[in-house]
Amino acid sequence: MKVEEKKQFAHAPEELNELASWNLQTLNTKNVTRLASNDPVTTSILVSQTIWPSTHANNRPGTVILLPLDKWQIGLASVDLVHHPNNGPVMYYDHKELPVDVLNEVNRLKPKGNVEETQIMVVGDAPEKVYSQLEEYKVEKIPFTSSAGFAAEIDERYVTITNSEYPKSIIIVSEEEEAKDYSLIASNWIAHMQEPILYVKNDSIPDETKRALAKRNHDAHLYLLGPEKVLSRELEEQLTEFGKVNRIAGDDPVSTSVAFAKFKDEQTGFGWGGSEPGRGISLISSAHSDQAIPAAPFSHLGKHAPLLWLENGELTEELYNFLALIKPTFQDDPTTGPYNHAYLIGTVQEVSFQTQGIIDDKLEIVSESGRGH
Mean pLDDT of the chain: 94
Gap between the Cα atoms of 111 and 87, Å rounded: 10
Q: Distance between CA atoms of 294 and 282, rounded to whole angstroms?
A: 12
Classify burial at 50, counting beta carbons within 10 Å of its beta carbon; exposed 0-12, middle 13-18, buried 19 or more: middle
**Tally of CB atoms within 10 A around 160:** 10
Residue 6 reports pLDDT greater than 90:
no
pLDDT digits (tens, 9 = 90+) for 125-136: 999 999 999 999
- Tell whether the model's pLDDT for residue 370 goes beyond 80: no
pLDDT at 216 over 70: yes
* pLDDT given for residue 4 in this prediction: 65
| pTM reported for the whole predicted model | 0.94
| Mean pLDDT (whole number) for 239-255 | 97
State pLDDT tens for residues 153-203.
999 988 888 888 899 999 999 999 999 999 999 999 999 998 999 999 999
CA nearest 253: which of 286, 295, 293?
Answer: 286
What are the boundaries of each domain within the chain?
1-52+273-373, 61-144
- In 289-305, which positions are buried (b, 16+ CB within 10 angstroms) versus exposed (e)? bbbbbbbbbbbbbebbb
pLDDT in tens, 315-356: 999 999 999 999 999 988 899 899 999 999 999 999 999 999
